[in-house]
Amino acid sequence: MQHIVIIGGGFAGINLAKSLANNKDFSVTLVDRNNYNFFPPLLYQVATSYLETSSICYPFRRFLRGKKNVTFRMGEFKQLKPTENKVVLSNGELSYDHVVFAVGAETNFFGMENVRQNALPMKTVNDALELRNYFLQRMEQATRTTDPVERDKLLTIVIAGGGPTGVEVSGVLAEMKKKVIPKDYPELSGKGFESHIYLVDGGPKLLAPMSEKSQVDTLNALTKMGVEVKLNSQVKDYKDDIVTFANGDTVATKTLVWAAGVTGSVFEGIPQESYGRGRRLIVDEHNLVSGFSNVYAIGDTCLQSTDKAFPNGHPQVAQVAIQQGKLLAKNFAASVTGKPQKAFRYNDKGTMAIIGWNKAVADIPKPKLHFKGFIAWLMWLFIHLISLINYRNKIRTLYNWTSAYFTRDQTLRMIVRPDGEPPVKG
């Protein structure tokens, strides 16, 4: 029986483990720093108090019940020892016949130390909870301050990054500004209370990978909702409550949400020549890492240029990770029986982004179709609902969405911080 160690339990890792479950030819150890799987596309709804954490998270050990050949190890990867076929974790070592890196990507601050220290990223559940607490605490501060300049900073939010995350965060905040804030915070209503939501991007378009129709529809919708969109505006610094752009413009704010880019991780034990653009591991058509015979990478952490339709590598989206995880499991099974392995070819099922209540955009490549508004919004809800890992999460999320749809509100705006946790930045 061959032992496969999977580092990372996101879309790629969990689908690989699930596809190898109950295969008598393999024993599988799934390793993750958290004891739960979570659904990244809905992190922004946790951050903005529209979903509970439990709606998008599920414990690995509960998920793996009954899968006799799959075990879970909570730990953080530290080092690969390829000559010994071992991985070193924060709490011990594991031997392997094959090791698969499926850790996803991490936030890219492009070398800007002040931004790294002071901005708020949104890549993990911890980030989303921190952002939720931060938003709510800033609102409470705004109700107390008598300094109009300080209050404007507290009520101004800058979201950096015009991709799906930035669009979704700015859209839901704009709706909260109109429908929720006046009811929850009557102290902030009336004349003299200015609040701004800026969505900024260094490029000329929002949702750059999507169609031009989606880009235009999104820009128009956000502008009508009151979001101030600043394109061709690259953030260069964030210090002393001032966001500074490359062209010299500035915005005074206490809150910079960073959704402007991701980068791969560097793994000790893997040589520099195995990395490509964006610190992604270079892999062949079977997701084997360059320079190795039993080390693989799937999902956001890999760069695969063998797919003719994507010569510069695949987009770092969930469907790529899911499909690579499932195919690698089939290839492992094929290798045992001597059958030929299949090269990975990405089946692009489309791209979508939600903008707000009854507003979304969706592009379907085959046939080439574009949807917007209510239909695209329903499509987004359906796809994200069925993509959740289990029925419990689906039922919880559907309940919360149904409640939010009819009330245009949610009742999850609680500031919860463990004793001794440091206060928010600033």
* Cis before 367 (ω within 30): yes
Q: What is the pLDDT of residues 93-151, one digit of tens each?
A: 999 999 999 999 999 999 999 999 999 999 999 999 999 999 999 999 999 999 999 99
| pLDDT of res. 426 | 46
Flag whether pLDDT at 185 surpasses 50. yes
| pLDDT of res. 208 | 92
Report the predicted TM-score, pTM, of the whole model to 2 decimal places. 0.90
Closest alpha carbon to 425 in 121, 118, 113, 127: 118
Among 13-22, 39-48, 190-199, the least confident range = 190-199
Flag whether pLDDT at 223 surpasses 50. yes
Average pLDDT over residues 374-396: 87
What are the domain boundaries of the chain? 2-33+75-105+264-337, 113-260
The CATH number, out of the four listed (3.20.10.10, 3.90.120.10, 3.50.50.100, 3.40.50.11540), of the domain defined by the range 113-260: 3.50.50.100
pLDDT band at 416 (very low <50, low <70, confident <90, very high): confident
One fold for 2-33+75-105+264-337 and 113-260: yes
Of residues 168, 212, 273, 285, which has the active-site annotation?
Answer: 168
CA dist., res. 93 & res. 418, Å (int): 32
Average pLDDT over residues 11-25: 95
Q: Give the percent of the chain with pLDDT over 90.
A: 79
pLDDT band at 404 (very low <50, low <70, confident <90, very high): confident
| Domain 2-33+75-105+264-337 homologous superfamily, CATH | FAD/NAD(P)-binding domain (3.50.50.60)
The three-class DSSP label of residue 392 is helix
Closest alpha carbon to 3 in 89, 99, 102, 90: 99
Q: Among this protein's residues, is 168 annotated catalytic?
A: yes
Average pLDDT over residues 59-85: 96
CA dist., res. 307 & res. 320, Å (int): 12
Flag whether pLDDT at 266 surpasses 80. yes
